[in-house]
């Protein structure tokens, strides 16, 4: 007889971690909840909410109040599902629409009031990388593969092998934006399809030659758009290989759309009402992709961006490894003085350790970003010694940095841009995930780390005692040492004036 009180008492319970990933897309918000056990990611729950943020994005880049409210209402509902989650066990990424919206900060500030988890707006390249990781962890084809994800506002293209990407691109074409441009009011005409396909091919002119040169052995599509197309194509042609679609299948679906004349009259079994309004636009984009990249056949993968986020959360070292590769690549490309970078890093980290609690910057992510800024502050030296801070800031602001979200990259660029000389507070952006005074404190630490190593020599600094309160930073330097360094003393005196601009009083 089963004794419920003793059920599973002999079963060894292994430690597990419950995590969640939320993808704030241009068309839908996708939440995936999983648990990580012994390095394995087990999906527990999925939620998809149709929001169509991109519908509210105007030509001049303003996100409408109505679209913002739809997004906020959805986030409020999702917040209820995540009530028991620790902040570090949830990662939220936002894509094309919030990348492009001029007033994205307004939305993000309102979101903070109702949604307790930080929202990262990620670059197109970072979105592509995470999509590929989702596919790579769940599909096991041999050789190079081309992965394509058609979203509401952008489409991502990746060629990779195993878990490594070879090329990443994000193009501004998506099923919501193309619906608004080519298929208004649901009208499905051959002329509209021709224009949409041509527009997609024009976008693809930026990448088609390079991608075809690199080549691939298999082609994989992700996203709800491609899933719907492949499912409907398989119903029309029973000879299709499972889970695959060809150009002739896409043309057949286009002809059916044109025969219907309007999306409301499109009689395709299993085409749900949410997907119906944007189906033709997604189909036109995919036809353009097949033609420009000479694709013979595409198969579908259910894993995409949110799964890529989850699998990275499962490997606690993954993000650090990715960031390390990004930093190594920059250091090599721009001939960074490695020894000097290490000196500045060591001093900056020593200062950080001394003040992190008193200054309320005691967070692993802030420590990491300050460290990367210390290591990369001189990438602009290769351009010109004069104004190195401006050159370094420009490079870090505009280069692709896999592993770093958009706000993280902005912070890196900002710290490096003002690591020396005058601080222009008007040019320091407002951050969504950080308080402005935290940015100023990180900047002060980096500047001092650079200044204290201005001689570019090892073992010349004495032991430094550091004390801080909210506004004061005191460097305890031996008086006899300082008296023998008149130039160094002059540098510190000048730095006092610079730091006043950000409300920090330097004493020594």
Q: How far is CA 129 from CA 115, 213, 402, in A?
A: 26, 20, 7
Q: How far is CA 199 from CA 204, 329, 431, 483, in A?
A: 9, 34, 35, 69
Same domain? For 451 and 344 the reply is yes
Residue 317's pLDDT band (cuts 50, 70, 90): very low
Domain of residue 47: give its range.
6-121
Between 11-20, 108-117, 487-496, the lowest mean confidence (pLDDT) is in 11-20
Same domain? For 457 and 369 the reply is yes
Residue 403's pLDDT band (cuts 50, 70, 90): confident
Nearest to 20 by CA among 83, 110, 95: 83
Same domain? For 62 and 170 the reply is no
Same domain? For 100 and 162 the reply is no
The residue from 312, 337, 371 where one domain ends is 312
- Is there a domain that residue 478 lies in? no
Question: What does the pLDDT read at residue 241?
Answer: 67
Same domain? For 152 and 292 the reply is yes
Same domain? For 93 and 132 the reply is no
pLDDT surpassing 60 at residue 188:
yes
Query: DSSP label at 63?
Result: B
Q: What is the pLDDT of residues 248-279, one digit of tens each?
A: 999 999 999 999 998 888 887 778 887 888 99
Q: How far apart are CA 226 and CA 158, in angstroms?
A: 16
Query: DSSP label at 13?
Result: P
Question: What does the pLDDT read at residue 318?
Answer: 46
- Is there a domain that residue 347 lies in? yes
Question: What does the pLDDT read at residue 38?
Answer: 62
The residue from 103, 121, 139 where one domain ends is 121
- Is there a domain that residue 473 lies in? no
**Cβ 137 vs Cβ 146: under 8 Å:** no
- Is there a domain that residue 398 lies in? yes
Q: What is the pLDDT of residues 46-88, one digit of tens each?
A: 888 999 898 899 988 999 999 999 999 999 999 988 988 888 8
Same domain? For 273 and 385 the reply is no
Same domain? For 297 and 346 the reply is no
Instruction: Give me the chain's average pLDDT, please.
Output: 87
Same domain? For 176 and 252 the reply is yes
167 phi/psi in degrees, rounded to 5: -155, 140
Give the pTM.
0.73
Q: In the numeric block, which tokens belong to residue 503?
A: 């409300």
Question: What does the pLDDT read at residue 4?
Answer: 59
- Is there a domain that residue 491 lies in? no
- Is there a domain that residue 494 lies in? no
Q: Tally the residues of the chain.
A: 508
pLDDT surpassing 80 at residue 433:
no
Number of domains in the chain: 3
Q: How far apart are CA 369 and CA 454, in angstroms?
A: 21
- Is there a domain that residue 344 lies in? yes
Same domain? For 185 and 321 the reply is no
Q: How far apart are CA 440 and CA 504, in angstroms?
A: 8
The average pLDDT across 336-341 equals: 90
Q: How far apart are CA 477 and CA 270, in angstroms?
A: 74
Q: In the numeric block, which tokens belong to residue 379?
A: 């990438």
pLDDT surpassing 80 at residue 408:
yes
The average pLDDT across 393-419 equals: 88
Alpha-carbon radius of gyration of the chain: 26
Q: How many CB atoms lie within 10 A of CB 146?
A: 23
The dihedral formed by the CA atoms of 408, 410, 413 and 414, expressed in degrees to the nearest 10: -110
CATH number at residue 232: 3.30.420.150
**Cβ 122 vs Cβ 95: under 8 Å:** yes
Ramachandran category for residue 176: left, alpha or beta (phi over 0 → left; psi -120 to 50 → alpha): alpha
- Is there a domain that residue 61 lies in? yes
Question: What does the pLDDT read at residue 325?
Answer: 75
Q: How far apart are CA 137 and CA 168, in angstroms?
A: 17
Residue 448's pLDDT band (cuts 50, 70, 90): very high
The average pLDDT across 387-407 equals: 85
The average pLDDT across 328-344 equals: 87
Residues 6+ apart with CB under 8 A from 330: 336, 376, 379, 395, 399
The residue from 253, 279, 312 where one domain ends is 312
CATH number at residue 100: 3.30.420.40
Same domain? For 48 and 150 the reply is no
Same domain? For 226 and 90 the reply is no
């Amino acid at each position: 007889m089963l004794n419920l009180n003793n059920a599973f008492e002999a079963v060894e319970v292994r430690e597990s971690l419950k995590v969640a990933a939320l993808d704030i897309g241009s068309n839908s918000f996708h939440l995936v909840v999983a648990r990580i056990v012994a390095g394995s990611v087990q999906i527990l729950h999925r939620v998809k909410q149709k929001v169509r943020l991109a519908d509210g994005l105007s030509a001049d880049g303003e996100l409408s109040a109505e679209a913002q409210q739809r997004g906020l209402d959805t986030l409020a509902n999702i917040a209820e599902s995540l009530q028991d989650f620790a902040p570090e066990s949830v990662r939220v990424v936002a894509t094309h629409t919030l990348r492009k919206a001029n007033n994205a900060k307004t939305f993000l500030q309102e979101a903070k009031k109702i949604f307790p988890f930080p929202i990262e707006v990620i670059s197109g390249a970072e979105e592509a990388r995470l999509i590929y990781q989702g596919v790579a962890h769940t599909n096991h084809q041999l050789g190079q593969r081309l992965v394509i994800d058609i979203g509401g506002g952008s489409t991502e293209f990746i060629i990779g092998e195993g878990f490594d990407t070879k090329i990443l691109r994000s193009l501004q074409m998506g099923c919501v934006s193309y619906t608004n441009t080519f298929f208004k009011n649901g009208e499905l005409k051959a002329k509209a399809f021709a224009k949409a396909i041509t527009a997609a091919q024009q976008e693809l002119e930026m990448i088609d030659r390079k991608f075809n040169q690199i080549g691939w052995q298999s082609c994989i599509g992700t996203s709800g758009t491609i899933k719907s197309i492949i499912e409907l194509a398989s119903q029309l042609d029973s000879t299709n290989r499972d889970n695959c679609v060809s150009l002739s299948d896409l043309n057949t679906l286009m002809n059916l759309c044109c025969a219907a004349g309007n999306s409301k009259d499109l009689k395709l079994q299993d085409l749900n009402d949410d997907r119906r309004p944007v189906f033709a636009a997604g189909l036109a984009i995919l036809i353009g992709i097949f033609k420009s990249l000479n694709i013979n056949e595409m198969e579908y993968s259910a894993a995409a961006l949110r799964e890529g986020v989850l699998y990275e959360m499962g490997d606690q070292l993954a993000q650090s490894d990715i960031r390390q590769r990004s930093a190594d690549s920059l250091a090599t490309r721009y001939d960074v003085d490695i020894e000097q970078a290490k000196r500045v890093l060591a001093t900056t980290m020593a200062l950080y350790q001394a003040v992190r609690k008193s200054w309320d910057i005691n967070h692993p992510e802030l420590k990491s970003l300050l460290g990367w800024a210390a290591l990369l502050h001189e990438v602009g030296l290769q351009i010109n010694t004069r104004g190195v801070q401006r050159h370094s800031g420009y490079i870090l602001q505009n280069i692709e940095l896999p592993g770093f979200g958009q706000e993280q990259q902005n912070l890196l660029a900002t710290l490096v841009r003002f690591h020396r000389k005058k601080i222009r507070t008007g040019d320091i952006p407002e951050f969504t995930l950080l308080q402005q005074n935290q940015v100023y404190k990180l900047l002060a630490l980096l500047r001092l780390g650079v200044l204290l190593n201005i001689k570019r020599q090892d073992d010349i600094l004495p032991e430094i005692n550091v004390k801080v309160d909210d506004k004061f930073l005191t460097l305890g330097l031996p008086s006899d040492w300082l008296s023998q360094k008149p130039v160094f003393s002059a540098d510190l005196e000048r730095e006092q004036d610079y730091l006043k601009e950000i409300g920090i009083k330097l004493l020594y």
